[in-house]
Structure 1
Amino acid sequence: MSDDPPLQLKPRLEISIDQVQAIIDRVAPGSPVAAITELRGGEISTILEITRADAPSCILKVYPAQLQWKMAKEVYVLGLVRDAGIAIPRILMADDSRALIDFNFVLMSKLDGVVLGNREAALTDQELFSIYAAMGAALRHINGITLDSFGYIGPHGVWTSHPTNRAYMSAQFERKLTEFCTRGGDEALAARLRAGILARSVLLDAADTPRLCHYDFHAGNVLVTPEGQPRLTGIVDFENATAGDPLMDVAKALYYFTPKDAPKRDGLLAGYGASDRSDWEATIALYRLASTLELWCWFAQIGKMDALPKITEELERAANTLA
């Protein structure tokens, strides 16, 4: 069992109007700040809406002390997506000097719309299918961006470079299985999972070009029109992006869906378009296991121990399926 303290997320930020005004003055001198509102969402960072008296609102995103490098990563990835034909925030300022506040931060434009997750409960199945189809099409655009190698993206490009998708994902599986055991997971279960993953690793060979994956594509990171038939107005939060197999991105997007979410699943897959890989469903199942392992390790890392038994049950089911 690891003795490391839980990772501290969401900076406990006490920020004054004067500090925010100093930030705004760097990009729009003399534009008065009217209000500061902390927004919900964003598991890692603190996200504030800055309302200005004479100009559109903007977003201040502040990164926790242990993950300050994610600021530069998000700036880098947004640069990659800038010409992908989808609405994304525009970076107004990125600061790692700690001169204005004690954390790295970005100031970015505020996109129109509301978080899709806040509207879903009131939408019909047809509306859910339609908006998720638009999301699927947008995800396909993101996945159309190629990179030089497979691996996790860091502040200035691929951080852990691998020549093939199999090499990258094999390293990821092994790293997470090791962490699973270090953080108290059952070693026998890890061994069963390792054997099943190895037996199916040939599925990872079909992805021969590293492509940009958002890898956190869900209703909390998608903005839509606030009323009427929902239309996609923007996509945010690229700080988990990786260079990998597009099916890994699809698998992560489908991860939290339950049987009652069939309109969402069907819409996303319809909008994304057919895969030319005959084994795509088996590959998505393997990537779902990767997401489950990551989630288990993440919750253990941040001290969310009460969530682990349910995820362990899913890992047990996966091990039985792989056997």
Structure 2
Amino acid sequence: MAELKPDSATTVRPGEELDLAVLNPFLNDAVPGFGNITECRQFPGGYSNLTYLLKTDAGTQEFVLRRPPFGATIKGGHDMGREFRVLSLLRSAGYPKIPEPVIFCDDETVLGCPFYVMKRVAGVILRAHTAPKMAISAETMRRISESLVDNLVQLHDIDIQKTGLVQLGKPEGYVRRQVEGWHRRYLNAQTDDLPDMDTLARWLTEHLPPENPPTLLHNDYKYDNVVLNPADLTDIRAVLDWEMCTVGDPMMDVGTVLSYWAEVADGVFEKSFNLTWLPGNLTRQEFADRYAERSGRDLSAILYYYIFGLFKNSVVIQQIYSRYQKGLTQDPRFAELLTGVQALARKGTKSIEHNKMR
């Protein structure tokens, strides 16, 4: 097995640099003992919010700064203040698997946008483009995927009433609002005529299921949003990227996970953003079965939530592609994203046609 090193940052992409001349004095004034930033690098993964590694001259503690992508105008999808609030609430509730939040800044004279800083949790992050090189055994991969399921069950078991997390959203009517909201987002970002997307939107509207009792929802739960212990990859040290966290039907979380969950027979695009197709991983159905067993929840309507997950992911990709088309971002990875929207939408319509997850 290749050496399992903590997730590393690289050189900041051109055009996405942070203005340290403004950021340094702000953090020095706002956070006692923070020190001056001596190194700023960027984590390369992800297509949405930008994440930077900060090292200072004040000690060995490293920090992570999160900010929206340049050119983003979708406040609901890039709400740094909300993500910081979620981390603060989870910390107050005693949930240990999160980075410690440090400071939130909504003064746009600092970086031109809201942002927040948290302490870094070092560890292994299994990204689609690097994990195959680690040569993780099929047996270990299976145990990691099982841990991912079990940790999701634990998240959904948090008492949202006693912890105050219920204030993060309005669980009643959550599924309907999500379907309607993501359909609106798609129409606002649409660049091409994609009949499969229209089919999915119509089917989701016409087949709304009865809602399950609400739980905490992460809403972007996948391998590259968890930090693993290098000494024991089945040990999840932290869950990252809480920007879309809310409360609602837990099956929406499960469906989103499954929509990311590529299998060996899936296409190149699906495999490009998750490594669940590597030998040993649970299949989508095995993931659902283990979740049902460990949580005691009914997953008989899981197809609906899987279809929603595919539709939501397609819309997110469409939004990014739309920004690229308008010249609001120059990241070359975004040029071919329309094919990803088409691939996921087609997977959804095929699942409807066969009445099972495809």
Shift of residue 191 of structure 1?
5.4
Taking the aligned partners of 1:237 and 1:319, their CA distance within structure 2 comes to 30
Q: Deviations over 1:20-46 (max 9, x none)?
A: 422431213472322111111242222
- Aligned position for 1:6: none
SS of 2:109's partner is: coil
Taking the aligned partners of 2:347 and 2:194, their CA distance within structure 1 comes to 13
2:281 to 253, 264, 274: 264
> What amino acid does structure 1 have at the position aligned with 2:344?
I
Taking the aligned partners of 1:194 and 1:19, their CA distance within structure 2 comes to 48
1:285 partnered with 2:288: no
- Aligned position for 2:116: 106
Shift of residue 74 of structure 1?
0.2
How many residues were matched structurally? 298
- Aligned position for 2:17: 14
- Aligned position for 2:83: 74
Contact 2:200-2:345 within 8 A present in 1 as well: no
- Distance of aligned partners of 1:114 and 1:194 in 2 relative to their CA distance in 1, 3 Å threshold: same
> What amino acid does structure 1 have at the position aligned with 2:176?
S
- Aligned position for 1:96: 106
Shift of residue 264 of structure 1?
3.0
Q: TM-score, normalised by structure 2?
A: 0.71
Contact 2:174-2:249 within 8 A present in 1 as well: no
SS of 2:216's partner is: strand
1:143 to 156, 173, 191: 156
More displaced stretch, 45-54 vs 268-277: 268-277
Taking the aligned partners of 2:234 and 2:176, their CA distance within structure 1 comes to 39
Q: Deviations over 1:166-203 (max 9, x none)?
A: x33233334444655673555687357635763x43xx
The runs of 5 or more residues in structure 1 that have no matched partner are 1-9
Taking the aligned partners of 2:79 and 2:14, their CA distance within structure 1 comes to 13
Contact 1:180-1:190 within 8 A present in 2 as well: no
SS of 2:110's partner is: coil
Q: TM-score, normalised by structure 1?
A: 0.78
Shift of residue 124 of structure 1?
1.1
Contact 1:254-1:265 within 8 A present in 2 as well: no
Shift of residue 70 of structure 1?
0.7
Q: CA RMSD in A?
A: 3.4
Contact 1:11-1:45 within 8 A present in 2 as well: no
SS of 2:281's partner is: helix
Contact 1:94-1:106 within 8 A present in 2 as well: yes
The runs of 5 or more residues in structure 2 that have no matched partner are 1-12, 265-276, 322-336
1:27 partnered with 2:17: no
Equivalence map 1:116-135=2 (5 Å): 116-117=126-127, 118-119=130-131, 121-135=134-148
Contact 1:76-1:157 within 8 A present in 2 as well: no
Contact 1:224-1:234 within 8 A present in 2 as well: yes
1:157 partnered with 2:168: yes
Contact 2:186-2:315 within 8 A present in 1 as well: yes
Contact 1:113-1:226 within 8 A present in 2 as well: yes
Contact 2:125-2:225 within 8 A present in 1 as well: yes
Contact 1:17-1:35 within 8 A present in 2 as well: no
2:218 to 214, 219, 224: 214
1:274 to 294, 299, 303: 294
Contact 1:47-1:62 within 8 A present in 2 as well: yes
Contact 1:126-1:263 within 8 A present in 2 as well: yes
Q: Which has the higher contact order (CA 8 A, sep 6+)?
A: 1
> What amino acid does structure 2 have at the position aligned with 1:14?
E
Contact 2:168-2:246 within 8 A present in 1 as well: no
1:252 partnered with 2:261: no
